[in-house]
Amino acid sequence: MHDIKAIRDDPKSFDEGLKRRGLAPKAAELIALDDARKERIQLAQSAQERRNKISKEIGIAKAAKDEARVKELMEEMSRLKSDITTASASVADEATEQLNAALAEIPNTPAPDVPPGKDEKDNKEVKARAFGKPPSITKPKDHVDLGAPLGMDFEAAARMSGARFVVLKDQLARLERAIGNFMLDLHTKEFGYSEVSPPLLVRDQTMFGTGQLPVFKMDLYSTYEGEVESYLRRISHSRPEGRPPLTYDESAILKDVFGQQLFLIPTAEVSLTNLVREQILDEEKLPLRFTAYTPCFRAEAGAAGKDTRGMIRMHQFSKVELVSITTPEESEKEHERMTDCAQEVLKRLNLHHRVVTLCTGDMGFAARKTYDIEVWLPGQNTFREISSCSNCGDFQARRMDARYRAKGEKHTRFVHTLNGSGLAVGRTLIAVLENYQQPDGSILVPDALKPYMGVDVIGR
């Protein structure tokens, strides 16, 4: 969420930031909404002030036993209460909602060093962060052909759930678990992240806090969306003959279960970042670093037709997430550190990869700067994204009202939030299969995973 005061103070810079995103200027429109909001708030306050003044005058008139004046003032008070004050307050609230709704749909503005561009073709490789070389494999197979004989079953998943789901069996299921546990151990034991087991279902304000709502609602899976009364009527009418309608208590229980809309997390970033929502933290306790290994759920409504083969783009997948909460002065350094931590997973697995800085047109909604880590996949003969590490500045903190107080200071400031995949477990499994494949279709187990797997080779 953007700060309307900052927009008023420097509308030119704000519009320039949106222009770099490929968006039209918005400062004038937002300032006009803010002017209307202030005007309506002032009208509401004036009406309230008049009511307070009349209350005092009524007291004076009663003390003077001036019944005619008391009646006149009471009539004016009634008009103010029923018409002016209520209407003014309602209009003021509506104006505030309009401003907040407009601000909520505007993405973060890019950091000054983010390269300009329209899409992924304009991303810039960070040469100093490149690691390794492609393995020498004659006629490499992709993970689908490699995985089928080893227990990767898309047909069984389709019978249960439809497209973009997979069943992993036997040693592939064990490999997925081994990869996730290896990542968690690395991030907690060596890099100082605190492991968290967060909720997978969250409220809409939680999704709003990290920027998934309102813009990306179509990409989210949610629970019951609120047609409670219709549902209750339907099941009440369908009860067996002779049974009474639903009682009040039964209806209340069902409303409690089904009446609140919850969303399945598309990434543990949502839960981990919201750990500090509506909190005021002590600066000496920062940075906070959290990690979690969770399932993630994405409808991928905006990705129809993309990556339909294999496990690259799934509706359900596992990921180890990294989140940092820090001060504005330390957020850039923390961004580099987080990217180092995510890269180290691939280095320990000896997987060739590169890092790119996303251009202004390819960044996520809440990010002000993002590094993508792309791993080499021999079966596709290309690099594919396996992690995005983003610095969101205070954009998410404003939406969550997450602040900190410096030692010895009374005022508070918004924290900076960062998030990154450390890594996507499914895509790491793909990378292991394709980079460690053998001519007979077996898969060598990377040294870092052998303690977790208990075997050196994955075979049929």
Residue 365's Cβ-count burial label (10 Å; 0-12, 13-18, 19+) is middle
Do 30 and 38 form a contact (C-beta atoms < 8 A)? Answer: no
Residue 57's Cβ-count burial label (10 Å; 0-12, 13-18, 19+) is middle
- pTM of the shown model: 0.86
Do 157 and 376 form a contact (C-beta atoms < 8 A)? Answer: no
Would you say residue 244 has pLDDT above 70?
no
What is the per-residue pLDDT across 11-66, written as a single tens digit (0 to 9) for each?
999 999 999 999 999 999 999 999 988 888 777 777 777 777 877 888 888 888 88
What is the per-residue pLDDT across 89-116, written as a single tens digit (0 to 9) for each?
566 678 888 999 999 999 999 999 999 9
Class (C level, CATH) for 120-221+264-458: alpha beta
Q: What local confidence, expressed as pLDDT, does residue 50 receive?
A: 75
Mean pLDDT across 173-187: 98
Q: What is the greatest pairwise CA distance in the chain?
A: 106
Q: What local confidence, expressed as pLDDT, does residue 84 receive?
A: 57
What is the per-residue pLDDT across 191-233, written as a single tens digit (0 to 9) for each?
999 999 999 999 999 999 999 999 999 999 998 655 555 555 5
d(CA 460, CA 453): 15
Strands (E), 392-451: 403-405, 413-414, 416-424, 443-444
The fold for domain 4-104 equals Helix Hairpins (1.10.287)
Mean pLDDT across 176-186: 98
d(CA 385, CA 377): 10
d(CA 269, CA 421): 9
Q: What local confidence, expressed as pLDDT, does residue 53 receive?
A: 82
Mean pLDDT across 324-344: 98
* Average pLDDT along the chain: 90
d(CA 312, CA 308): 8
The dihedral formed by the CA atoms of 6, 8, 9 and 11, expressed in degrees to the nearest 10: 90
Residues 6+ apart with CB under 8 A from 182: 345, 348, 448, 449, 452
In the chain, residues under CATH classification 3.30.930.10 are 120-221+264-458
In the chain, residues under CATH classification 1.10.287 are 4-104
What is the per-residue pLDDT across 395-410, written as a single tens digit (0 to 9) for each?
999 999 999 999 888 8
Work out the number of other CB atoms within 10 angstroms of the CB of residue 177.
16
